[in-house]
Amino acid sequence: MIEGGVAGGSAAHHADQRRTVAARLESEATWLDAVAADERATGQFLQLLSQSYAILHDLKLPGTQGNIDHVVVGPGGAFVVVTRRFAEPIEFREETLHAGGRSLQAELAGVAVIAAQLTDLLGTPVVPVVGFHGNVLSATAPPQVDGVLVCASENLVRVITRASHTLLPPHQVTGVLEKALPLLFNPGSTPRDQIQANAEAPTLPPAVMTTVAPIVPVAVAAVAPPAFTPLTLTPSPPPPPPAFPPLAVPENANEAASGTVAPEVSSVGLTEAAATAAAAAAASRAARAAAPVMPVALVHHKRSKGFVLAVVVSLCLVAGTLGAAANLILKDDGAPKSASTTSTTAESVDVSTPLAAALPAPTVAFSAVCPAAGSGWQLVATWPGDVDGLTQYDVELQNADATWTALAPLLSAAVTAASLEGYGPNVTVTLRITAVMTDGSRSANQPTPFTTPTSPC
């Protein structure tokens, strides 16, 4: 008899298949949770926009499988905001962005296509924006790559506010939202003031450490440092006084100083000559004894004072001579040094002068264009001219309350865009243009009113 097959083989096989599928699904679920967390963080950053902006999350484009992360519509125009995260640092090279060794050109092109599709659906220009999470964007990256605005997610509010491209009055914002609301994955909307009342503050990236802890090798760290012994400074003794030859003092000087007079010499047993000499010597000693005698220490002290006085007088003469010489030198070189100082000061002033200091206010010129009947007049800015050190021209529109709204900047003469659109006939607006230089300085500007043609478009 034989025994064939494996008991429970098919059941074990199907169990292995399901475990593989379960592991893949678990991995996909983990990835989707991370994507959802990043999109929620982007939504929290967008909540910092002013109340005049409407924010829509998680929209679906008809006929596609993907989703649109966020759409922002406000007085500065419409934007589509896409959230992205990469493990590698984001760098700009070869005219596009790279995550490690991978080019992101296809990613940016896909976002631009989404913006073009939304432009057709919403009936207003939509500018694409990519906000990167968890990556430090290279400082060499320009603010716009392949027609897409790129920035760190925490800078989205600043980028959207400064990239205003189309002036949308409140009624036009409402019209755009009515076309966008049916695209929501989860239908329904809530006033933003109610959302912000309950929303948590967005989590900003951790601050960069400002202190550096040195790494000490283990072998060195194990050895205790030597005990610190404070240094005691002991003043050196003063130099000894100069040596002088000993002063010859009479043998009876101390006795004379004390008032004791030496006894006279007896002439008994001496010859007459010897007696005469002895008498003269005794008289001489008596005369010397009668004169006051200084002690040896007092004589040395007076000589030391004289020596010090002579040294002081010599030093004064030397100092006077040096002072006179220095005065003559300064008088001879005074004029050239002043000129040199003036020249150096002038050069430093020239170097520190901002590039925009000498620029006049740029010429403000706009052309009224009628793109299609019934669409309203468009005002298209004219390039003010090329200037050395120019980064861009900022275009601003004056509001009814005398504040200014930034429109899309002018980057070059080859790139033209409609700064304002949808205006009726005989409408007056005030605009100004400011030159922004590479050193960050800004030129003067001249607010200029413009009036649309009297005939309708």
Domain harbouring 441, CATH code: 2.60.40.10
How far apart CA 13 and CA 10 sit, in angstroms, is: 5
Residue 97, strand partner residues: 92
> What would the pLDDT profile of 379-397 be if each residue is shown by its tens digit?
888 889 888 888 888 888 8
Segments of 247-403 assigned E as strands: 366-369, 377-381, 390-398
- 423 pLDDT more than 70: yes
Evaluate whether residue 403 is within a structural domain: yes
CA distances from 319 to 71, 288, 326, 366 (A): 84, 46, 10, 77
Residue 240, domain member (yes or no): no
User: Angle at which helices 170-180 and 105-122 pack, to 10 degrees?
Assistant: 110
Cα 118 from Cα 425, distance rounded (Å): 28
* Cα–Cα–Cα angle for 337, 343, 348, rounded to 5 degrees: 125
Last residue of a domain, one of 153, 183, 198: 198
Asked if residue 376 is part of any domain, the answer here is: yes
Looking at per-residue confidence, does 61 or 332 come out higher?
61
Give the range among 171-175, 255-259, 290-294, 317-321 with minimum mean pLDDT. Answer: 255-259
Identify the residue whose tokens are 């275009």: 395
pLDDT of residue 344: 41
Query: Which residues have a Cβ under 8 Å from the Cβ of 429 and sit 6 or more positions away?
Result: 379, 397, 398, 420, 423, 449, 450
In terms of Cα–Cα distance, which of 43, 68, 52 is closest to 122? 68
pLDDT band at 373 (very low <50, low <70, confident <90, very high): confident
Annotate 136-159 with b (16+ C-beta within 10 A) or e (fewer). Answer: ebeeebeebbbebbbbbbbebbeb
Containing structural domain, residue 429 = 366-451
Q: What is the DSSP track for 43-86?
A: HHHHTTS-TTSEEEEEEE-TT-SSEEEEEEEETTEEEEEEEEE-
Does residue 293 lie within any of the structural domains? no
Bridge-based pairing state of the strands 126-133 and 77-85: parallel
pTM for the full predicted model = 0.44
> Looking at the domain assignment, is residue 389 inside a domain?
yes
Is the pLDDT reported for residue 107 higher than 70? yes
At 303 the pLDDT is 59
- Taking the C-alpha atoms of residue 148 and residue 80, their distance in angstroms, rounded to an integer, is 10
Residue finishing a domain among 163, 181, 198: 198
Q: pLDDT at residue 139 above 70? A: yes
Domain end, chosen from 176, 198, 220, is at: 198
Least confident span in 142-146, 330-334, 358-362 = 330-334
In a domain, 17, yes or no: no
Strand pairing report for 67-74 and 126-133? unpaired
Whether 357 maps to a domain, the answer reads no
pLDDT grade for 47, boundaries at 50, 70 and 90: very high
Query: Tens digit of pLDDT for each residue in 306-339?
Result: 777 888 888 888 888 887 777 777 665 544 444 4
β-bridge partners, 127: 79
Q: Does residue 259 fall inside a structural domain?
A: no
The number of folded domains in the chain is 2
| Lowest mean pLDDT segment, chosen from 43-57, 330-344, 425-439, 441-455 | 330-344
Largest CA distance in the chain: 177
Cβ partners under 8 Å of residue 291, min gap 6: none
The whole-number pLDDT of residue 113 equals 92
pLDDT digit string, tens, across residues 256-275: 444 444 444 444 444 565 55
